[in-house]
Amino acid sequence: MNIRLAKFKDLIPSSLPFVEGKLDGHKERKNYSILGPGVAEDAEQSIKISEPHGFNLGAVSAKPFNGSGLHSHLTAEVFIIYSGKWRFYWGSEGKDETILNPGDIISMPTNMFRAFENAGDEEGLIFVVLGGDDPGIVTWIPEVLERAKKTGMALLDDNSLIDLNIKAIPNGRRLLEPISDDEIKKFNNYKLDQLKSNISTLNNRIENELNIGDNIKISHILGNIFQDKSVNPIIKQDTGFSLSCFKSKKGRVENLVFNKPTILFSQKGNWKIEMENLSKEINFKDTISVPLGVNVNIEINESEVSYLNCVSSI
């Protein structure tokens, strides 16, 4: 069971996960691969749970005014704010933006440049769900690659990361060429009012909460299936996975059965997870992968309202 459990305190982060990792505004950041490889360009990025689930889970911590450069992914990318205030901005010029707070969730469309930055006064933390077992490569706007190269960091034509201060370009390889202006025009852009349907704030989720079990509520954020039954999610985007959130102070739900790869990860509180003859506790930021087809009981006994996220492959 320990191969299914990821205690956040045991995770090994990468402090140089991407090509822009030495630039001001990006270098005071850590990247965690909790489930699956994610999209980190650091070949030595530590992965805690390697079994394929149909999606990836990672986390990013950053100090104020640090985050990622403008980039795009081939699969869905969903951000869950754990702590701090975060600015998300998008489009090839990064002109459109929104500010999100703890408990808020944004699901970014594919084929769109996006970036994020800690807009608070203290170090912040976000969790990130990426679609697919292999989310593919990161596509950067040309300015990011050009600025990164001045620090010695670059990508080779196989999208592997190289520090030119330490290594020479290997024989048979060349540096990755930035995408052209014509290629940039093929990417989508959205105004804030167009992306509002992809955002679920903690406050506006209350009206979508449903009772489940004894004194536990659940909100369905993404995906129209939960426990093999149809549900009405807040965000209608097709990501290839579902995201739901349990909420309770003191409560219990029994006999949940997950027939698709599923993880549970605590956003607040110490949750007790019972599976057959096993019992595990996951604290704030911890993650557990649930075996298929077994009865799962979830229990919480805290003095404050707590949250447990659930992601399943669809």
> Residue 44 maps to which CATH number?
2.60.120.10
Calpha distance 7→4 (Å, rounded): 10
Residue 304: per-residue pLDDT: 97
Residues 240 and 314 sit within 8 Å (Cβ to Cβ): yes
193-234 per-position pLDDT tens digit? 999 999 999 998 999 999 999 999 999 999 999 998 999 999
Residue 107: per-residue pLDDT: 98
Region of poorest pLDDT, from 23-27, 33-37, 85-89, 276-280: 276-280
Mark whether 71 and 176 lie in a shared domain: yes
Domain of residue 159 covers: 2-199
Q: Which phi and psi angles does 36 have, rounded to 5°?
A: 80, 170
Calpha distance 154→175 (Å, rounded): 7
Question: What is the arithmetic mean of pLDDT over 154-168?
Answer: 94
Residue 276: per-residue pLDDT: 83
Mark whether 65 and 168 lie in a shared domain: yes
Q: Which phi and psi angles does 312 have, rounded to 5°?
A: -130, 145
Q: Is the pLDDT of residue 189 over 70?
A: yes
Q: Is the pLDDT of residue 43 over 90?
A: no
Domain boundary among 168, 199, 230: 199
Calpha distance 205→178 (Å, rounded): 40
At 74 the three-state DSSP class reads coil
- Which residues contact residue 58 at a Cβ distance below 8 angstroms, ignoring those fewer than 6 apart? 31, 32, 33, 34, 35, 38, 40, 127, 128, 130
Calpha distance 145→160 (Å, rounded): 13
- Which residues contact residue 106 at a Cβ distance below 8 angstroms, ignoring those fewer than 6 apart? 78, 79, 88, 98, 100, 195, 198, 199, 200
What is the amino acid identity at position 91?
G
Question: What is the arithmetic mean of pLDDT over 237-242?
Answer: 96
Residue 37: per-residue pLDDT: 86
Residue 77: per-residue pLDDT: 96
Name the E strands within 165-294. 199-200, 210-211, 217-222, 225-226, 229-230, 241-257, 262-268, 271-275, 278-282, 287-290
Calpha distance 279→48 (Å, rounded): 20
What's the mean pLDDT when you consider all of the chain? 95
Mark whether 151 and 63 lie in a shared domain: yes
Residue 314: per-residue pLDDT: 92
Largest CA distance in the chain: 63
Mark whether 128 and 28 lie in a shared domain: yes
Other Cβ atoms closer than 10 A to 284: 17
Domain boundary among 143, 168, 199: 199
Mark whether 222 and 94 lie in a shared domain: no
The pair of structure tokens assigned to 298 is 């979830």
Residue 243: pLDDT band with limits 50, 70, 90: very high
**Which one is predicted more confidently, 17 or 101?**
101
Mark whether 263 and 135 lie in a shared domain: no
Mark whether 213 and 154 lie in a shared domain: no
Q: Is the pLDDT of residue 83 over 80?
A: yes
Question: What is the arithmetic mean of pLDDT over 286-292?
Answer: 97
Mark whether 130 and 141 lie in a shared domain: yes
Residue 135: per-residue pLDDT: 87
Mark whether 88 and 17 lie in a shared domain: yes
Mark whether 81 and 135 lie in a shared domain: yes
Calpha distance 88→72 (Å, rounded): 13
Residue 23: per-residue pLDDT: 96
Nearest CA to 41 out of 17, 14, 71 is that of 17
Q: Is the pLDDT of residue 39 over 90?
A: no
- Which residues contact residue 86 at a Cβ distance below 8 angstroms, ignoring those fewer than 6 apart? 67, 79, 99, 100, 101, 116, 117, 118, 119, 120, 124, 126
Q: Is the pLDDT of residue 1 over 80?
A: no
Overall number of domains in the chain: 2
Residue 8: per-residue pLDDT: 97
Mark whether 58 and 191 lie in a shared domain: yes
Domain boundary among 199, 226, 249: 199
Mark whether 216 and 192 lie in a shared domain: no
Residue 186: per-residue pLDDT: 96
